[in-house]
Structure 1
Amino acid sequence: MAGLYINQHVLNNLFYILVTVFAFSFIYDHSPAIQRKPLYNRTLLCACLALASVLCMRFPIYIDPTCIHDFRQIPFLLGTLYGGGIVGAVFFAVLMLARTILYGFQSLTFVVYAIMFVVAAAASPLFRRLPRSGKLFASLWLTFLIAILTTFVAVIIADFSVTKPYIVYFIIMPPFVMMFAVYLMETLHEAQLARAELMKMEKMEIVSQLAASISHEIRNPLTVVKGFIQLLQTEPLPRETKERYIRIALEEVERAEGIIHDYLTFAKPAPKETEPIDVAVELRKVLQMIAPMAHMHSVDLSSSLEHGIVIGNVQYFQQCFLNLLKNSIEAMPNGGTLRVTVENQETSVVITISDNGIGMTKEQVRRFGEPYFSTKEKGTGLGAMVAVKIIEQMGGTWKVESTVQKGTTLTITLPARQLRLLSSQQSANS
């Protein structure tokens, strides 16, 4: 018996309804303008569900000499209940126009859907305030009662013949289809709200982690400065002792300033001023800047740099690799070798930074670049975090491979700008 009534045409009508509900959810989820403006939201809802109604009419479940049966009332009731009276009125006009174009005007159809519109529009304000379970229950019984009411009216005013297929397709099936459609609408909406809340919580967690890191790291040097200033206010001290206290206090102030600088670099938006950067030229400058620090830590610098052009901000590019090279040097407290290579490929420039320092565990590798995480005893993790952000702003990717007590290799891949293109432009200008 079920196979007799649940046929391909029924499944097609269900398919039209489900696809348009998913289409509405997808477009709504990816359009901030529609999310912000109720008018756009209602317009999209009306357009999607009206399409479902028209498709249901165009490809009905079956046709007999007196009536065409389909599920067009499901999207019509959905749109009116969720969108309100205005959406329902527009929907009603579109539905009647489509019905007239496809099969001609019929007064009975007009009366039936006018009753549906009035009942659904009146129920809409209460329906939208109900919880999910209440909406499911209300949609089931409201659809059933509307089917009974409109059938009763049709029998009275048009001597309508109620057949067994009519009872199945117009009275029994639609309430359950309607309940399923409402369930789908509510589930998709709840998923959107949950995702938005999750993104908000993730942002707040990052902010709280950064705030905790900054306050903790700045409090330490400020405490040191406060202590030495108090010592300078005590009994007369030898000049050498005063100078030592002042030097230590200044060093701590500079450390606090560096922490704030790294945080601001991470927080500020991406720079708008970008230009072609010769990776080999800029990395040579960075290696020259970092050479004194490498010498102090007994670290040998080795490089093999091919010319490659990328697009970015020169200042941020230098800062990114200063942070990364500084981290590599500090990972070799007993000295070692730091090697930097650049390989120019057709579509990318690959930069590799290798050291033979203390290395990292798998968990430390996984958390590389996270705020409030560092492998150093006095580190904040802000340097690596800033570097990772700059790489991502340039459209690049990064990969870390490390073994404890053997060393770390960081591979950075940046999108390349063809060098010969730049060279031909320079030749033309000259």
Structure 2
Amino acid sequence: MGAYINQHVLNNLFYILVSVFVFYFIYDHGEIFKKRTSYRNALLTACMGFPIILCMKFPIYIDEQCVHDFRQIPFLIGTLYGGGIVGFILLLILLAARSLIYGFEYITAIVYMTMLIATALMAPTFHALKRSNKLSMSVWLTFFLAVLVTLLAIIIADFPVTHSYIVYFILLPPIGMLFIVYIIETLKEAMIMRSKLVKIEKMEVVSQLAASISHEIRNPLTVVKGFIQLLKTPSLPQNTKDRYIQIALDEINRAEAIINDYLTFAKPTSDKVECLMVNEELQKVVQMLAPMAHMNSIEIVKKLEPGAIVGNIQYFQQCFLNLLKNSIEAMPNGGTLTISSRLHGNHVIITIKDTGVGMTAEQVNRFGEPYFSTKDKGTGLGTMVAVKTIQAMQGKLHIESEVNKGTTLTITFPKAAD
């Protein structure tokens, strides 16, 4: 058998294998092929028709009776995976190529029409099998058809059977089918597994968000419930009632803020974009946070240079409101918050620097995760909103931090076209 495995045999297998990889590469990157079976079958026909022609154009061996090649492998693959229609079109391609390259031979038409009918009938059963059973069926079907059509050729045309014919038409094709079907099934399983992993990751994020939200909202609601029950106490002084009501309102506002952060993260980014001046919008954000900074003994240093970017003003303000608020909360004992913006080539660079508690390397790596926060009562939703907004505006975020020394955030946006 080893004497029959030569460069031409490997070339034929190479043509088929490359066509299989091309099919799955295009199929994996084209949603239309996954949605419409007709498009998928058209792609399969093209990818299996190509190696049929190449196998005949560059055969393994030619003798006086026939041409030896592996054309039956892509022919059978196309029919098994695409059905009778794909097999019929491949039959037309095969006969047309055979006639153009070597001339028409009626026995060839009979042989491959027999293969088409038998394989098309077996295709539905093949699809329902598990991978191991598909491998077995592909081998035995190829071997059975080779023996069947050989007997048919002997009966009809008194076809002489040589050693080369037995090896190249009866023995080697089933082995080639085993190899090709194994590759196809492995690629299919890899694509299915990747799709499942993407769904699992999405569900994991949703479950983590749900758990985080439910936990964070339950806390203020429990406080509200408790104080409402206390308000039922007879002869409660009015100033105590007012204090209880204020605490309940504060907790309701906290729950509302959590929900708003979650909705900002979850809802699609607005299509409304416009040219905005970074220095002007940052100045507005700083003014909103000035009372909070003053209460925490924090000095805000501004170094804002004019610079224009394209984005949604509302989301831009919310993004930097969250980031600056985080920086202020990272300095419970006071400190300095420096915010600057500058032009650098075709980019606008915004820097936020605080002198707060800082973050560890692990905390930096987890910055923006859906359920991670460095604050005792934080949900991590604010940083999620900020990171999502920066990404939506084609920006990049870089973090430098050292524990007990502070954190520096560098956000780079593309400059708006003049």
TM-score range, shorter chain: over 0.9
Mean alpha-carbon deviation: is it higher for 153-162 or for 329-338? 153-162
Kindly provide the amino acid, as one letter, of the partner of residue 382 in structure 1: L
CA offset digits 1:164-188 (Å, max 9, x no partner) = 2222221121111101110011001
Aligned counterpart, 2:4:
5
Distance 2:66 2:36 in 1: 40
Distance 2:343 2:58 in 1: 59
TM-score normalised per structure 2: 0.97
In the TM superposition, what is the alpha-carbon distance from 1:57 to its structure 2 partner?
Answer: 1.6
Aligned counterpart, 1:365:
364
Structure 1 spans left out of the alignment, 5+ residues:
422-430
Q: 1:110 to 1:399 in 2, by over 3 A?
A: same
Distance 1:38 1:153 in 2: 35
Distance 1:212 1:408 in 2: 29
In the TM superposition, what is the alpha-carbon distance from 1:15 to its structure 2 partner?
Answer: 1.4
Give matches, 1:143-222, under 5 Å.
143-222=142-221
Distance 1:201 1:335 in 2: 43
Distance 2:127 2:230 in 1: 69
In the TM superposition, what is the alpha-carbon distance from 1:270 to its structure 2 partner?
Answer: 1.1
Provide the aligned C-alpha RMSD in A: 1.4
In the TM superposition, what is the alpha-carbon distance from 1:7 to its structure 2 partner?
Answer: 2.5
Residue 43, structure 1, aligned to residue 28, structure 2: no
In the TM superposition, what is the alpha-carbon distance from 1:414 to its structure 2 partner?
Answer: 1.5
In the TM superposition, what is the alpha-carbon distance from 1:136 to its structure 2 partner?
Answer: 0.6
Kindly provide the amino acid, as one letter, of the partner of residue 38 in structure 1: T
Distance 1:346 1:64 in 2: 70
Give matches, 1:259-298, under 5 Å.
259-298=258-297
Residue 80, structure 1, aligned to residue 76, structure 2: no
Distance 2:305 2:147 in 1: 80
Mean alpha-carbon deviation: is it higher for 292-301 or for 190-199? 292-301
> Percent of aligned positions with the same letter in both sequences?
62
Mean alpha-carbon deviation: is it higher for 298-307 or for 360-369? 298-307
3-state SS of 1:321 partner: helix
Structure 1 moving runs of 4+ over 3 Å: none
In the TM superposition, what is the alpha-carbon distance from 1:126 to its structure 2 partner?
Answer: 1.0
In the TM superposition, what is the alpha-carbon distance from 1:359 to its structure 2 partner?
Answer: 1.0
Distance 1:167 1:303 in 2: 85
In the TM superposition, what is the alpha-carbon distance from 1:308 to its structure 2 partner?
Answer: 2.3
CA offset digits 1:189-242 (Å, max 9, x no partner) = 001110110000011111111111111111111111111111111112111111
Distance 1:7 1:268 in 2: 61
In the TM superposition, what is the alpha-carbon distance from 1:156 to its structure 2 partner?
Answer: 2.4
Aligned counterpart, 2:379:
380
Give matches, 1:89-128, under 5 Å.
89-128=88-127
Residue 417, structure 1, aligned to residue 416, structure 2: yes
Kindly provide the amino acid, as one letter, of the partner of residue 39 in structure 2: Y
3-state SS of 2:382 partner: helix
In the TM superposition, what is the alpha-carbon distance from 1:39 to its structure 2 partner?
Answer: 1.8
Distance 2:338 2:5 in 1: 70
Distance 1:407 1:27 in 2: 49
Aligned counterpart, 1:311:
310
In the TM superposition, what is the alpha-carbon distance from 1:309 to its structure 2 partner?
Answer: 2.0
In the TM superposition, what is the alpha-carbon distance from 1:350 to its structure 2 partner?
Answer: 2.0
Structure 2 spans left out of the alignment, 5+ residues:
none
TM-score normalised per structure 1: 0.94
Kindly provide the amino acid, as one letter, of the partner of residue 188 in structure 2: H
In the TM superposition, what is the alpha-carbon distance from 1:390 to its structure 2 partner?
Answer: 0.5
In the TM superposition, what is the alpha-carbon distance from 1:6 to its structure 2 partner?
Answer: 2.6
3-state SS of 1:171 partner: helix
Distance 2:223 2:107 in 1: 88
Kindly provide the amino acid, as one letter, of the partner of residue 96 in structure 2: L
Count of residues in correspondence between the two structures: 418
Distance 2:298 2:386 in 1: 22
Distance 2:88 2:321 in 1: 64
In the TM superposition, what is the alpha-carbon distance from 1:123 to its structure 2 partner?
Answer: 1.1
